[in-house]
Structure 1
Amino acid sequence: MAIIEVQALGKAYGGSQVVDGVSFTVEEGEIFGILGPNGAGKTTTVECVEGLRVPDSGTVRVAGLDPAADRAEVTRLLGAQLQESELQAKLTVREALELYSSFYPRPADRLALAERLGLTAHLDRRFAQLSGGQKQRLFIALALVGDPRIVVLDELTTGLDPRARRDTWGLIEEVRDSGVTVLLVTHFMEEAQRLCDRVAVIDKGRVAALDTPEGLVGRSAGSTVVSFTPSKPLPDDAGLGQLPGAVAVSTAPDGRITVHGDDDTAAAVISLLARLDITAHRLRVLDTTLDEAFLDLTEQDA
């Protein structure tokens, strides 16, 4: 069942429409991604879900509640890690967890939460002494300390090195596996492809597409990419562009050929080269990434 429902959401600042008719639902127990470039309206959308902003138009419901009118109830259901989060430099991890626990009538076991997130050894360290990855673990803990049904994570891994980012991804998966619904805001395509059950692509304040990551890639023009360097030049009438599923063919200055298409295209390219007695050196067959699908989808939306 849908635990978050957003319908025709609109929000403007100074006459500029930042969110323009955004609609989506989030099912209980899933990781739902909101994906898009900086300035697309992602954070404003989730701030309306969190009750931090009041929409100009449309409706938002969290477990059937209005985040603006029923803010106290929604606060008990929803934990949030904001896009820009800081704590006092001298506050220790233990003190932060104790402080945030005091905000809720039935908080989670903060020491168990610290152990689960790898913070037990750092409980008496001050916030300023924590690494970037440790700070992110703490922010996840603070978002979960109220024992919420939903957690909103906004640009959680921005600024982290690749190892810390992947460690954080593992933590997000553990949060979902514990039964918490995750609303994840990101502009990292790899992050969305790795974590999300479904993704809403937001561009220029509107939903450009909504699907599973695999579905978005499949809707892209050319979901499979075949690249190779031929052992000899292909004849002009080879017909790579007319092969089944082919949507684009390009040749690099060094002679390397790239064909965008689908699974049938990959097999057809290999068969064609065999008939022409041409060897495909450094042959690569890859799925289109979510980055490429995103560019296709937003170009179509433009």
Structure 2
Amino acid sequence: METVTTAAVETVALRKSFGGVVVLDGLTMRVARGSVHALLGPNGAGKTTTVRILATLAAPDGGTARVLGHDVVRDRRRVRRTISLAGQHAALDDHQTGAENLEMMARLTGVPRAAARRRAADLLDRFDLAAAGGRRVVTYSGGMRRRLDLAASLVGQPSVIFLDEPTTGLDPRSRRGLWEVVGELAGAGVTVLLTTQYLEEADRLADRISVLHGGRLAAEGTATELKQRFGAHRLELTLRDTDRFAEVARRLGDRVANRDPARLELEVSTDGTGPRVRHLLDEVDPDRRGITRFHVRTATLDDVFLTLTGQSAPADRREAAGV
């Protein structure tokens, strides 16, 4: 008998260790049906391990995990009938063509031959691979292989799809194309759980975001909620010379959020309001001769990431559109 639940994915006190190294340390989270939910976190935070457990590819050491009400340990077959997984590495047959790979996947899910061909053609077109569909996969570029692997994950029209860093290796145009596909899936009622280190990707796609750190849930909420709770506006100051830089840094003390002596730049947290910004400027530059330029920057997910994990996201992951 199926368990009635509003959550598509649910974990409670999930634990997993490898060789004595704790990877998941009591992870509890819920993913709403028909939503896009992003898992953020530094390398080693437990994102991929969480996905592998939910996809029944690894067994937890403790706690429980359910997909559409099915326990991932006791009801593995039921879970597998409802999900699809696109991992970090493409699972393709290099000696088949792109079309043959997709047709084979469709046939393995029980789709009749003619329907499998139509499904393959539709997906090749959707992922901008129609012109390469007749070529063997061994001739594909890395980005093309990634797009084909993602297309293969949609062959069976799953109710829940796990995307483990799905846009790694994709060019900006292909990445935006995938974003559109994810939006279409969610619009059609499919639940999407994706791991990513591209902060803009999570900001743009996810209805909710879970930030993992040290195998635990550090925070969860919408992008806006997380920015409000853990981010902060920053007042960026550019000083006239090294003496002024040193003096302002001394005045601010431990309120300095970031400093770049080579560029004579300092950052300090602020609420972004006019009175507060004016007060800070008057405090650090009372004679109004030391600051050559200032800028108020709104909170970003990178600020959230830094606050919760103690480190910034890698520079090439902060803004996917610039990659």
Structures share fold, TM-score greater than 0.5: yes
State the match for 2:158 in structure 1.
Answer: 148
Q: 1:272 to 1:37 in 2, by over 3 A?
A: closer
Of 44-53 and 194-203, more deviation after overlay is shown by: 194-203
Equivalent pairs: percent with the same residue?
Answer: 39
Tell me how far apart the structure 1 counterparts of residues 287 and 257 of structure 2 sit (CA, whole Å): 20
Displacement of 1:65 in angstroms is 0.7
Shift of 1:49: 0.6
Matches within 5 A, 1:75-94: 75-94=80-99
Partner of 1:102, secondary structure, is: helix
After superposition, where does 1:260-279 map in structure 2 within 5 Å? 260-264=269-273, 267-270=275-278, 273=281, 278=288
Question: Which of the residues 225, 229, 232 maps onto 1:223?
Answer: 232
Describe the SS at the equivalent of 2:212: strand
Residue 83 (structure 1) shift: 2.1
The letter of the residue matching 1:68 is V
1:214 aligns with 2:224: yes
How has the CA–CA distance of structure 1 residues 115 and 161 changed in structure 2, closer, same or farther, with 3 Å as cutoff? closer
In structure 1, the residue matched to 2:141 is: 131
For residue 9 of structure 1, what is the aligned residue in structure 2?
Answer: 14
1:187 to 2:192 alignment:
no
Alignment partner, residue 293 of structure 1:
304
Q: 1:213: Cα distance to partner? A: 2.0
CA contact (8 A) 1:229 1:255 kept: yes
Q: How has the CA–CA distance of structure 1 residues 261 and 230 changed in structure 2, closer, same or farther, with 3 Å as cutoff?
A: same
Offset at residue 231 of structure 1 (A): 6.9
Whether the 8 Å contact between 2:165 and 2:197 is mirrored in structure 1 is yes
Give the Cα–Cα distance (whole angstroms) in 2 for the partners of residues 30 and 55 of structure 1.
24
Separation (CA, whole Å) in 1 of partners of 2:153 and 2:122? 14
Contact 1:240 1:249 in 2 (8 A): no
Moved more, 49-58 or 160-169: 160-169
> Partner of 2:65: helix, strand, or coil?
strand
TM-score (norm 2): 0.79
Cα deviation for residue 37 of structure 1 reads 1.6
Contact 1:5 1:61 in 2 (8 A): yes
Q: Deviations over 1:174-227 (max 9, x none)?
A: 33233321100122323222221211111221111112222222222x511121
Q: 1:61 aligned to 49, 57, 66, which one?
A: 66
Inter-partner Cα distance in structure 2 for 1:6 and 1:55:
11
Aligned-residue offset at 1:171: 3.1
What is the deviation of 1:154?
Answer: 0.6
Moved more, 289-298 or 26-35: 289-298
- The 8 Å contact of residues 230 and 278 in structure 1, kept in 2 or not, is answered as no
Q: Which residue of 2 aligns with 1:30?
A: 35
> Distance in 1 between the 2:40 and 2:148 partners?
24
Give the letter for the 1:261 counterpart: T
Map Cα deviations across residues 117-139 of structure 1 (whole Å, 9 max, x no partner): 22222221211222233222211
**Hey, what's the Cα distance between the residues in 2 that align with 1:110 and 1:95?**
8
Tell me if structure 2 keeps the 8 A contact 1:133–1:168: no
TM-score under structure 1 length normalisation: 0.84
Unaligned runs of 5+ in 1: none
Question: Is residue 81–residue 153 contact of structure 1 (8 Å, CA) maintained in 2?
Answer: yes
What is the distance in 2 between the residues matched to 1:250 and 1:151?
39
Q: Is the 8 A contact 2:39 2:196 kept in 1?
A: yes
Q: Which has the higher helix share?
A: 2
CA contact (8 A) 1:33 1:185 kept: yes
Cα 1:255–1:28 change in 2 (3 A) is same
**Per-residue deviation, 1:296:** 1.1
Cα RMSD (Å) of the superposition?
3.1
Q: 1:158 to 1:269 in 2, by over 3 A?
A: same
Q: Does the 8 Å CA contact 1:35/1:201 hold for their aligned counterparts?
A: yes
1:269–1:152: structure 2 CA closer, same or farther, 3 Å change rule?
same
Q: 1:263 to 1:13 in 2, by over 3 A?
A: same
Q: Is the 8 A contact 2:82 2:160 kept in 1?
A: yes
